[in-house]
Structure 1
Amino acid sequence: MIAKVAVVGSGYMGGGIAQVLALAGRDVAIADVSADLARENRERIIREAADYAERGIFPADARETVAWRVTAAPSIEEAVGAVDFVEEAVPEVLGIKHETLRRISENAPSAALIGSNTSTISIATLAEAVTSPDRFLGVHFSNPATFVPGVEVIPHAGTREGAVTEVVALLDECGKVGVPIADVTGFVLNRLQYALFGEAARLVEEGVATAQAVDLIARTTFGFRLPFFGPFAIADIAGLDVYQFCYQSLHGAYPDRFSGPAILEERVARGEKGVKTGRGFLATPADRAPELAAYRDEAYAALRDLLFRLGEPPVDY
């Protein structure tokens, strides 16, 4: 069991990760470029925990728990010296990460797992600086780490068997959803996120819509579905033959940017068109369509009501 952890890099992301781990009953040592900065950030995350508790979005005793569980270490070496797991959360600069991971791996116990919160850098590339890299993997939290549930878990080719399972179990105990994926630059989250942003930017550049209009459409149409269904589930519900037709239309207008993915074409050719045929990218049988529709309607109505209660986000264009 992972009981004692260290977070190296105690800024906004690292501090949030430390809060999450502490609230899950782990003792957490935080470290940064100096002992003073680590102490300052410990006080900050305690204040944040108190504020979150007062607002009802953290447990009522969150301040006390974080203050009790989180300590500020004098150095990286002292932070990692007697822990079961280390999460590196320093700036997304290869040289800084390599030097930090070198110090972590040279001083952590040989059995300790080491994770990196990198957003886009290949885990194999980062592993070059790690002593005993078989214990190293990516553990990519999203911003803000305190509240976003999904975490990408990324082994490299040399990560030892069982490491992913241990980390996913730890994340589960923290109320997070650990999702194992393969090691590629950008992973899944940022390849999707930046693909969307690229097309959004083109729409503004082409004068199709303003940034405000693009944001409004994204969050009130397809983005409204995404808390409940991922892109493959949405495609299966809509019908893969419908997606095939839409790709054909888009390819005709934007041949350099859109073409039907081969895996989509193959499924449609086999008659696997989604929920209506009982198989597409998923295997939801057609007789469950009414149940799926009922869930969808209740989910969307609940989200609609939540957004109405919260009001418009405080964003100015």
Structure 2
Amino acid sequence: MVTSHTAVVGSGYMGGGIAQVLALSGRNVALADVDADTAAASRRRIIAEADDYASRGLFPADAASRIAERVRAAESIEDAVASAGVVEEAVPEILELKSETLSRISAACAPDAIIGSNTSTIAIGVLAEAVHLPERFLGVHFSNPAPFIPGVEVIPHETTRKDVVEAVVTLLGECGKTGVPIKDVTGFVLNRLQYALFGEASRLVEEGVATAEQVDLITRTTFGFRLPFFGPFAIADIAGLDVYRFCYGSLHDAYPDRYTAPASLVEHVERGEKGVKTGRGYLATPTERTGDLTAYRDEAYAALAALLARLGPPPVAY
């Protein structure tokens, strides 16, 4: 098991959720913030949240007591990180604040302690400039809400050691999370995709094509319905890459400044790699597994439809 002593610096909603995740995996967590009182208040909050989650069947029945036992409110950042083998910084997304905090963390923790940042968009190489011994530093980007979203972006910068990346992925796995190592670019993968979608959604509303309510409804009841099970490349392979290329042509004719078929898509189609129907596309799903894929898809979509019917529409007012 990766180190049993951890620290979370920044005890707001994200930091508190990360502390819950670590504590429920059996780690001791020192929770720090701008002062001891803020950290103590956050500790009380995440224990109360855990009790509420448990009452709704979202956390184990003993989650609150486990978190109370494992999480302590630290007197200071330096106190929190002094004995931690892994430190996660989760202060607000302000470059100067993150840099100052990371400088304090790296000066006070052990030289072999791993330091992660929960930044959403700031390049890790930029943040690394503030870190003493930056080879033990990387991005560890949880999504909101941290206790329930399984994927975590793991972002090494140019000099991050390979064993540090491996240790973080292992730790996340032991916490029930899926750590996905990616390259260091501004926005990473999650937010580049998320903001690309939001930009096009906004244009549709601004152009009068649909209202915000209609865009949201179409998104979550059509292609968004597939996304819990299949990523964009799997979806494209299932639909057929030749179909995608044709559709890109239509979109390019109408919106030449916004839609052009990706070079990789054109190359796949020209090689006859059209997706599942030819046994190779972006992924390599053999044609003999088409039946298994179809069965999985149908069961997954039916189960999600039943879940949504049980939960009802989200309580969002438009």
Please indicate the TM-score interval, normalised by the length of the shorter structure: over 0.9
User: CA deviation digits over 1:164-220, x for unaligned, max 9?
Assistant: 110000000101000000000000000000000000000000000000000000000
Q: What does residue 138 of structure 1 align with?
A: 139
Q: What does residue 103 of structure 1 align with?
A: 104
Tell me how far 1:160 sits from its aligned partner. Answer: 1.1
Query: Where does structure 1 differ by over 2 angstroms across 4 or more consecutive aligned residues?
Result: none
Tell me how far 1:161 sits from its aligned partner. Answer: 2.0
Percent identical pairs in the alignment equals 72
Does the alignment pair 1:188 with 2:189? Answer: yes
Which AA in structure 2 matches 1:94?
A: L
Provide the aligned C-alpha RMSD in A: 0.4
Question: Which ranges of structure 1 fall in alignment gaps of 5 or more residues?
Answer: none
CA distance in 1, matches of 2:211, 2:162: 49
CA distance in 2, matches of 1:187, 1:160: 19
CA distance in 2, matches of 1:18, 1:228: 28
Q: What does residue 297 of structure 2 align with?
A: 296
Q: What does residue 79 of structure 2 align with?
A: 78
Tell me how far 1:91 sits from its aligned partner. Answer: 0.4
CA distance in 2, matches of 1:2, 1:288: 41
Tell me how far 1:34 sits from its aligned partner. Answer: 0.7
Which AA in structure 2 matches 1:69?
A: R
CA distance in 1, matches of 2:162, 2:294: 40
Tell me how far 1:287 sits from its aligned partner. Answer: 1.2
Question: Which ranges of structure 2 fall in alignment gaps of 5 or more residues?
Answer: none
Does the alignment pair 1:149 with 2:150? Answer: yes
Give matches, 1:245-284, under 5 Å.
Answer: 245-284=246-285
Q: What does residue 122 of structure 2 align with?
A: 121
User: CA deviation digits over 1:13-61, x for unaligned, max 9?
Assistant: 0000000000000000000001000000000000000000011000000
CA distance in 2, matches of 1:4, 1:256: 52
* SS in structure 2 of the partner of residue 15 of structure 1: helix
CA distance in 2, matches of 1:270, 1:181: 28
CA distance in 2, matches of 1:104, 1:269: 52
Which AA in structure 2 matches 1:141?
A: F
Number of matched pairs: 317
CA distance in 1, matches of 2:163, 2:261: 37
Give matches, 1:143-222, under 5 Å.
Answer: 143-222=144-223
Structure 1 length as normaliser, TM-score? Answer: 1.00
CA distance in 1, matches of 2:162, 2:208: 51
CA distance in 2, matches of 1:121, 1:17: 19
Give matches, 1:217-232, under 5 Å.
Answer: 217-232=218-233
Q: Higher mean Cα deviation, 93-102 or 158-167?
A: 158-167
CA distance in 2, matches of 1:124, 1:253: 39
Structure 2 length as normaliser, TM-score? Answer: 0.99
* SS in structure 2 of the partner of residue 147 of structure 1: coil
Tell me how far 1:237 sits from its aligned partner. Answer: 0.3
Tell me how far 1:290 sits from its aligned partner. Answer: 1.0
CA distance in 2, matches of 1:212, 1:24: 39
